[in-house]
Structure 1
Amino acid sequence: MATANTLERIFSVDYKRMIQPIVSVCTWGKGLENLRRPRGVTIDISTGDIYVADCENNCVKVFDCSGKIMLKFGDEEGEGKMNHPDGLAICRDRILISQRNDCILNYQVNGKFISIIGEPGKGESEFDYPRGLTIDESNGEVYICDSHNHRIQILSKELTYKTQFGQENLKYPLDVKLTKQFIYILDLSNLCLHLYNYNLILQRSIISRGIGLQLNCPYFFYIDNSNNILITDYYSNSLSVFNSQFDLIYKISIGYPTGITVDNRGRVIVVCDWGEHYLNIF
């Protein structure tokens, strides 16, 4: 049975305390301690290190839990060269990175390039603007939002094609997360969350209880250990928190948020400010 990456590893979070970040680092620029249009963010649960897709600097940057820069990686040339990295997913000692030139990069978490997965196209293991992705820790399978092909592709632990689903319902999927019961998919054009079971059958699309009406331009999302759903909303300059019944319970003002995750200390990590280029820790 599938297991979300961090569902059972974090504390209960009081989102009402998220008025000001306790750590806010980075500014616009090309230097080691700068970000330009940051997108995805994820946590290495074994170390607490924070990985950020530094989109327009064409690299991934790694910060420790206090926000101190530790590492920058992304080959300057060759197969490992990054082109606007977007989604990130870590499982054990590897990190997978989606990027604009229609492939997935496979790196070690220490920044060593391993391999490239996929190529442009519409077939198996082919992509058209892959976005969010996640790894099922129970079996190593990888779920990838193949956004402009309007589908989710599933790769095996060996990173070979397994199957695909969602073409009949999805329109520009942005991000995907796993719980024990469902596969959650954030859909940009439909402005909703789709819930699929592990037979890859659509169970419901959550639009009638506010999500579709209260989101403007969602980007990434996260599901905490209480099944609360946190969705960054870029154009609304906010982070929306929905409970497990999909009721909006809190909305937090944040400038142009993109990536979001929660560490195993219960701190909310928001790579945000598409315009301001900050990494915020709440």
Structure 2
Amino acid sequence: MATANTLERIFSVDYKSKIQPIVNVCNWGRGLEDLNSPQGVTIDNSTGDIYVADCDNNCVKVFDCNGQILFEFGDEEGEGKMNRPNRLAICRDRILITDHCCILNYQVNGKFTSRIGKPGKGELEFYDPLGLTFDESNGEVYICDYNNHRIQILSKALTYKTQFGRGNLRFPLDVRLTKEFIYILDRSNPCLHLYNYNLILHKSIISNRDVLQLNGFRFFYIDNSNNILITNYSDTSSGSISIFNSQFDLIHKIPIAYPTGITVDNRGRVIVVCQGYKHFLTF
């Protein structure tokens, strides 16, 4: 559990001071210490360990807070087999991973627990699930069902609860929760949707010259001050991290090649994985 001093540092992160990475971890490859097309990244706040979805190596790599490899996991056969894992989220001792048309449920020590869902358009069926997050207050799980154009909500027991977004969402990429709103990054316009907890659309922030200014966005993260960190790259742009305040004003941009998953740890460090160079960086 974070201490009061740690939480104070999280609330007062000086993003404008973050220009160059302080740690550069991993190279391309198939070995234990290598990454190949890394995607999502998340933190186990109880230990500080960093979990990375190593997409093309079909596993999850676990590093300590200093970037030293600890172990990897991902069954090669059976129900726990990973097939291009993409996003991941941790709640207590459980880690959920979006995979090909299903959700994989593992313990944080790498032990497989269960497989949730199958291909399709119905309840507990998925068509390219991507971003997911936990509601820590009740253990519910919000999942971006990308090509079904919706968000599915699962109970703490990982049973189907409800869904929302059809008609408003086109291609939801990533989802985050704050006390007031459900934030969803949608590839279609592009835009950022805000829903309330009655699952009613509150507003949509559409990317343009003055607001958000997104180009090829991938992942996002919201810190405890409701600052929004978004990774961007496209065929015409090598990439950046764009950081907005809670009023959606751009406060800082960090040039970085091909960033994908992003998070902030309990020390106020920005951790981002990079697809092009197959590594992750700490700012």
Question: Once the 2 structures are TM-superposed, how far is the Cα of residue 8 of structure 1 from its aligned partner?
Answer: 8.8
Match of 1:154?
153
Amino acid at match of 1:118: G
Where do residues 208-223 of structure 1 align in structure 2 (5 Å cutoff)? 210=209, 214-223=213-222
Is the partner of 2:62 in helix, strand or coil? strand
Question: Once the 2 structures are TM-superposed, how far is the Cα of residue 190 of structure 1 from its aligned partner?
Answer: 1.8
Where do residues 12-161 of structure 1 align in structure 2 (5 Å cutoff)? 12-99=12-99, 101-161=100-160
Which deviations, in whole Å up to 9, do the C-alpha atoms of 1:103-122 show, x marking residues without a partner?
Answer: 00000000000000000000
> Which deviates more, 51-60 or 206-215?
206-215
> Which segments of 5 or more consecutive residues in structure 1 lack a partner in the other structure?
1-5
Does the Cα contact within 8 Å between 1:11 and 1:264 map onto a contact in 2? no
Question: Once the 2 structures are TM-superposed, how far is the Cα of residue 32 of structure 1 from its aligned partner?
Answer: 0.4
Amino acid at match of 1:278: H
Amino acid at match of 1:43: I
Separation in 1 of the partners of 2:10 and 2:89?
17
Match of 2:199?
200
Does the Cα contact within 8 Å between 1:209 and 1:246 map onto a contact in 2? no
Is the partner of 2:86 in helix, strand or coil? strand
Question: Once the 2 structures are TM-superposed, how far is the Cα of residue 213 of structure 1 from its aligned partner?
Answer: 6.4
Which deviations, in whole Å up to 9, do the C-alpha atoms of 1:71-124 show, x marking residues without a partner?
Answer: 10000111101000011000000100001x200000000000000000000000
Separation in 2 of the partners of 1:96 and 1:218?
23
Does the Cα contact within 8 Å between 2:212 and 2:244 map onto a contact in 1? no
Separation in 2 of the partners of 1:139 and 1:57?
33
Which deviations, in whole Å up to 9, do the C-alpha atoms of 1:179-230 show, x marking residues without a partner?
Answer: 0000000001221100000000000001166576621111110111211100
Question: Once the 2 structures are TM-superposed, how far is the Cα of residue 17 of structure 1 from its aligned partner?
Answer: 1.9
Distance of aligned partners of 1:146 and 1:234 in 2 relative to their CA distance in 1, 3 Å threshold: same
Separation in 2 of the partners of 1:134 and 1:160?
15
Does the Cα contact within 8 Å between 1:192 and 1:212 map onto a contact in 2? no
Question: Once the 2 structures are TM-superposed, how far is the Cα of residue 10 of structure 1 from its aligned partner?
Answer: 2.9
Match of 1:256?
258
Distance of aligned partners of 1:218 and 1:43 in 2 relative to their CA distance in 1, 3 Å threshold: same
Is the partner of 1:258 in helix, strand or coil? strand
1:280 aligns with 2:264: no
Match of 1:183?
182
Separation in 2 of the partners of 1:93 and 1:198?
26
Amino acid at match of 1:29: G
> Which segments of 5 or more consecutive residues in structure 2 lack a partner in the other structure?
1-5
Give the root-mean-square deviation of aligned CA atoms. 1.6
Separation in 1 of the partners of 2:116 and 2:95?
12
Separation in 2 of the partners of 1:251 and 1:48?
25
Is the partner of 1:234 in helix, strand or coil? strand
Does the Cα contact within 8 Å between 1:96 and 1:104 map onto a contact in 2? yes
TM-score, normalised to structure 1, is 0.94
Does the Cα contact within 8 Å between 2:212 and 2:248 map onto a contact in 1? no
Does the Cα contact within 8 Å between 2:208 and 2:214 map onto a contact in 1? no
Separation in 1 of the partners of 2:171 and 2:86?
14
> Which deviates more, 245-254 or 138-147?
245-254
1:225 aligns with 2:224: yes
Separation in 1 of the partners of 2:60 and 2:7?
24
Question: Once the 2 structures are TM-superposed, how far is the Cα of residue 246 of structure 1 from its aligned partner?
Answer: 0.6
Separation in 2 of the partners of 1:184 and 1:59?
28
Matched residues, percent identical? 76
Separation in 1 of the partners of 2:56 and 2:105?
19
Does the Cα contact within 8 Å between 1:221 and 1:229 map onto a contact in 2? yes
Does the Cα contact within 8 Å between 2:7 and 2:266 map onto a contact in 1? no
Does the Cα contact within 8 Å between 1:191 and 1:212 map onto a contact in 2? no
Amino acid at match of 1:53: A
